[in-house]
Amino acid sequence: MGAHDRRQYQGCALGHWRCASRDGSAGFRPDYQYWIGALAVVPTAAVYCASKFAVRAISDGLRQESPTIRVTCVNPGVVESDLASTITHPQTRAAMDVYRSVALKPADIARAVRQVIEAPESVDTTEITIRPTASAN
C-alpha cells in the first residue's frame, strides 16, 4: 500500500472511527452517528472501497454496542465533490467524468440525512442508499 492509499484509508475509515467519540466531543450528537459508505468495489478504487466497507463494519458494531445510539450508514450514488480532481489515472479520470454527469448535489444528501435524524427516537434507520434518478449504478 502506497502513501496515497494509506492516507485515503486513514481519512475514510480511521477518520470515521475517531469521530465516533462516545461523549460527542468530535462535534457529533452523542446519541446519533451517521457515516458515508459504499456498496460496491470498482477497478482502480480498491483502497477507497475497502475504507468504505470498514465504515459499514464500524457502524454496525457501534449500533450493536448501545441501545441508545442510532447509527445510519449513508450510501450515496455519485455526488458532486472535489474527489474527482485528485484522480491521476487518465482512464479512470475520463470514466469518472462520464459517471459524474448525473451527479447529485451535496444538499440532496443533506436533506436525506436530515430526514433520518428527524425520525422519532424509537426509529433507527440502519442504512439508506441515495442515487440520482438518471443513474444506472
Q: Which residues are catalytic?
A: 48
Give whole-number Cα distances, 95 to 75, 78, 87, in Å.
Answer: 20, 12, 11
Question: CA neighbours within 13 Å on the CB side: how many for 27?
Answer: 3
* Of residues 52, 110, 55, 57, the one with CA closest to residue 80: 110
Gap between the Cα atoms of 57 and 6, Å rounded = 19
Gap between the Cα atoms of 51 and 30, Å rounded = 23
E strand intervals along 29-117: 32-36, 70-76
Cell numbers given for 109 = 444528501
Query: Which residues have a Cβ under 8 Å from the Cβ of 3 and sit 6 or more positions away?
Result: none
